[in-house]
């Protein structure tokens, strides 16, 4: 009945797996039959401090009893506190704009860059260079910013001004008088959990600064301690002009943020959001940041990241007929699988063993567990992954 309801009344935008989850705790989820699954996806990098985290639940309930929404025409106390926390924890001298998703955060980043290119000197600059295999969202602009040709079917005409580089080395040769910004993911998520080379990124950042070209870092998936620091930009030791944030900041409550050093680029009316940064989402996001900062300071986060990485590398060593290599940073990890068929089989077999894992580009088995996942849940998840591998023939 539930499956029929979904199929009859919800647009078929997703290749759904028809399991009905009813409750969760930490990195464990139960379906309506009482079966327990280990979640190595955290809702595609969202549930960063675990399902049903008591501090997050308390923050939601407490705020919901007071006030949830009033609009951005008025001061919103938790929004101001969250902005301060993000800026101070990042170490970047920036201001924040609040939206509802990663795509909206990236839209805001593009608008900031385009306005900068229009008001700062001649000729007008509007081109944004992105990378092939990138993913920046599903709105018309962010879809066109995404450097994957397969994503550009059906929805044109698209806005002009997006140029795709093969890799970081290729970017410099594409810069011209109309280039205003370069937009990159420091670890490509949908593109195959592919980290950029740190030295090359630092060299690029230096070049862009010399040429007065903005560096936009899409931290929608890499941000909020996913790669070990609050932002991957901190890990790469660069200072972006604009950062887009979402996913793990809200632990499931929809939020997106654009942070920029161009503090006065927007004037009233240039940009806006009805729901963005309301009382509920910013109160929750502030709590998430506090939880993760404490976890990072205690050494627990680094410990979990190291253990998860070591366990994955073991799979690469033990199954050379299936796995090419282990990739990623922090708890944004992947195993590069030797064929698309093997990858599909692994995802299917893992689900049969009640383990949730993801696919990503370049035949990658992707892992985005809650950052607070326990050692016991990791061990149980890897035991189930072992069973999936044992049933998959290379």
Question: Concatenated DSSP letters for 116-175?
Answer: HHHHSSSS---EEEEEBT----SSHHHHHHSB-GGGGSSSPSPPS-EEEESSGGGHHHH-
70, 94: one domain: yes
Which domain, by its residues, includes 341?
38-52+298-390
Which DSSP string do the residues of 323-351 spell out, in sequence order?
Answer: EEEEEEETTEEEEEES-HHHHHHHHHHHH
* Domain containing residue 222: CATH number: 3.40.640.10
Q: What pLDDT is attached to residue 394?
A: 66
> Is the pTM for the entire model greater than 0.75?
yes
Q: Give the end of a domain, one of 297, 313, 345.
A: 297
272, 241: one domain: yes
Q: Give the end of a domain, one of 241, 271, 297.
A: 297
237, 174: one domain: yes
* Domain containing residue 349: CATH number: 3.90.1150.10
Residue 62: pLDDT band (50, 70, 90) is: very high
87, 135: one domain: yes
**What number is the average pLDDT over the span 367-392?**
97
284, 379: one domain: no
**What number is the average pLDDT over the span 79-87?**
98
**Residue 101 and residue 275 in contact, taking contact as beta carbons nearer than 8 Å:** no
Q: Is 248 within the bounds of a domain?
A: yes
**Beta pairing partners, 130:** 164
Q: Is 279 within the bounds of a domain?
A: yes
208, 108: one domain: yes
284, 305: one domain: no
Q: How far apart are CA 48 and CA 228, in angstroms?
A: 12
275, 353: one domain: no
90, 176: one domain: yes
- Cβ-based burial of 153 (10 A; exposed 0-12, middle 13-18, buried ≥19): exposed
3-state DSSP call for residue 86? helix
Q: Is 307 within the bounds of a domain?
A: yes
Q: Residue 27 pLDDT more than 70?
A: yes
CA–centroid distance for 192 within its chain? 13
Q: Is 194 within the bounds of a domain?
A: yes
Q: How does pLDDT run across 179-236, given as a tens digit for each residue?
A: 999 999 999 998 899 999 999 999 999 999 999 999 999 999 999 999 999 999 999 9
194, 244: one domain: yes
**What number is the average pLDDT over the span 269-285?**
97
**What number is the average pLDDT over the span 76-83?**
98
Residue 120: pLDDT band (50, 70, 90) is: confident
62, 181: one domain: yes
The residue count for the chain: 394
Q: Residue 164 pLDDT more than 80?
A: yes
Residue 121: pLDDT band (50, 70, 90) is: confident
Q: Is 360 within the bounds of a domain?
A: yes
Q: Give the end of a domain, one of 282, 297, 312.
A: 297
- Cβ-based burial of 15 (10 A; exposed 0-12, middle 13-18, buried ≥19): exposed
237, 368: one domain: no
Q: Is 24 within the bounds of a domain?
A: no
Q: How many domains does the chain have?
A: 2
Rg (CA), the chain: 21
């Amino acid at each position: 009945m539930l499956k029929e309801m979904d199929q009859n009344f919800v647009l078929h935008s997703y290749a759904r797996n028809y399991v009905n989850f009813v409750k969760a705790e930490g990195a464990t989820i139960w379906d309506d039959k009482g079966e327990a699954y280990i979640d190595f996806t955290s809702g595609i990098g969202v549930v960063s401090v675990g399902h049903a985290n008591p501090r997050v639940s308390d923050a939601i309930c407490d705020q919901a009893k007071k006030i949830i929404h009033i609009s951005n025409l008025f001061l919103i106390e938790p929004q101001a506190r969250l902005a301060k926390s993000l800026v101070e924890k990042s170490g970047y001298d920036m201001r924040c704009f609040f939206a509802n998703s990663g795509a909206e955060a990236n839209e805001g980043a593009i608008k900031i860059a385009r306005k900068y290119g229009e008001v700062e000197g001649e000729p007008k600059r509007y081109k944004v260079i992105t990378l092939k295999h990138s993913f920046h969202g599903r709105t018309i602009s962010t879809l066109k910013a995404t450097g994957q040709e397969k994503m550009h079917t059906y929805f044109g005409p698209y806005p002009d001004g997006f140029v795709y580089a093969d890799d970081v080395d290729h970017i410099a040769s594409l810069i011209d008088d109309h280039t205003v910004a370069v937009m990159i993911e420091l670890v490509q998520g949908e593109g195959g959990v592919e980290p950029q080379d740190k030295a090359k990124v630092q060299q690029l950042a230096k070049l862009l600064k010399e040429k007065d070209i903005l560096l936009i870092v899409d931290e929608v998936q890499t941000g909020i301690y996913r790669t070990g620091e609050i932002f991957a930009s901190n890990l790469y030791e660069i200072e972006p002009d604009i950062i887009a944030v979402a996913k793990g900041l809200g632990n499931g409550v929809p939020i997106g943020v654009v942070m920029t050093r161009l503090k006065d680029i927007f004037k009233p009316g240039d940009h806006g959001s009805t729901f963005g940064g309301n009382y509920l989402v910013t109160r929750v996001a502030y709590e998430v940041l506090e939880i993760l900062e404490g976890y990072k300071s205690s050494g627990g986060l680094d410990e979990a990241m190291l253990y998860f990485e070591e366990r994955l590398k073991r799979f690469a060593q033990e199954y050379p007929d299936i796995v090419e290599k282990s990739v990623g940073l922090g708890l944004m990890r992947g195993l590069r699988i030797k064929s698309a068929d093997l990858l599909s089989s692994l995802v299917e077999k893992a689900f049969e063993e009640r383990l949730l894992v993801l696919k990503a580009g370049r035949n990658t088995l992707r892992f985005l567990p809650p950052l607070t996942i326990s050692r016991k849940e990791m061990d149980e998840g890897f035991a189930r992954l072992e069973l999936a591998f044992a049933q998959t023939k290379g």
